[in-house]
């Protein structure tokens, strides 16, 4: 059974960085892509970026471009977001698509990141 298990919640000061991990079981990340999606409290879903686990190529949304770094090893994907502001407070999810699509069939459980002074 394929599962993505994320790291625990974080509380960060404004201007700091956060790194969230997403450990895969039942699949090797070098054969797939992983996206990161976030959801601010009471809000909708926002795609942040994607990494190709095979070659490390990444894409990110314009909103977080320049602040987002996505990396991966064979079992774990990582999302690092820098220069945090209060509007980065959200639940962050990693997700894997069906086959080669970006329709996300497997989701991590989510990691709450709170940015507060």
Partner 1 sequence: EIVMTQSGGTLSVSPGERVTLSCRASQNIAGNLAWYQQKPGQAPSLLIYGASTRATGIPARFSGSGSGTEFTLTISSLQSEDFAVYYCQQYSLWPPSITFGQGTRLDIK
What are the backbone angles phi and psi of residue 26, rounded to the nearest 5°?
85, 0
Report the alpha-carbon distance of residue 116 to residue 100 in Å, rounded: 38
Report the alpha-carbon distance of residue 26 to residue 62 in Å, rounded: 32
Least Cβ distance, residue 50 to partner 1 (angstroms): 4
Least Cβ distance, residue 74 to partner 1 (angstroms): 21
Report the alpha-carbon distance of residue 84 to residue 16 in Å, rounded: 5
Per-residue x/- marks for partner 1, 33-72, CB under 8 A?
A: x-x--------xxxx--x------x-x-xx----------
Interface residue list for partner 1 (CB under 8 A): 33, 35, 44-47, 50, 57, 59, 61-62, 93, 97-98, 101-105, 107-110
């Amino acid at each position: 059974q394929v599962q993505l298990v994320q790291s625990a919640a974080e509380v960060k000061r404004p201007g700091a960085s956060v790194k969230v991990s997403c450990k895969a079981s039942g699949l090797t990340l070098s054969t797939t892509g992983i996206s990161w999606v976030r959801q601010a409290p009471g809000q909708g879903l926002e795609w942040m970026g994607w990494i190709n686990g095979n070659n490390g190529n990444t894409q990110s949304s314009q909103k977080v471009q320049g602040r987002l770094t996505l990396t991966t090893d064979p079992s774990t994907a990582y999302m690092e977001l820098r220069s945090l502001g209060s509007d980065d407070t959200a639940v962050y999810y990693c997700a894997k698509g069906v086959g080669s699509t970006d329709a996300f069939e497997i989701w991590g459980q989510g990691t709450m990141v709170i940015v507060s002074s």
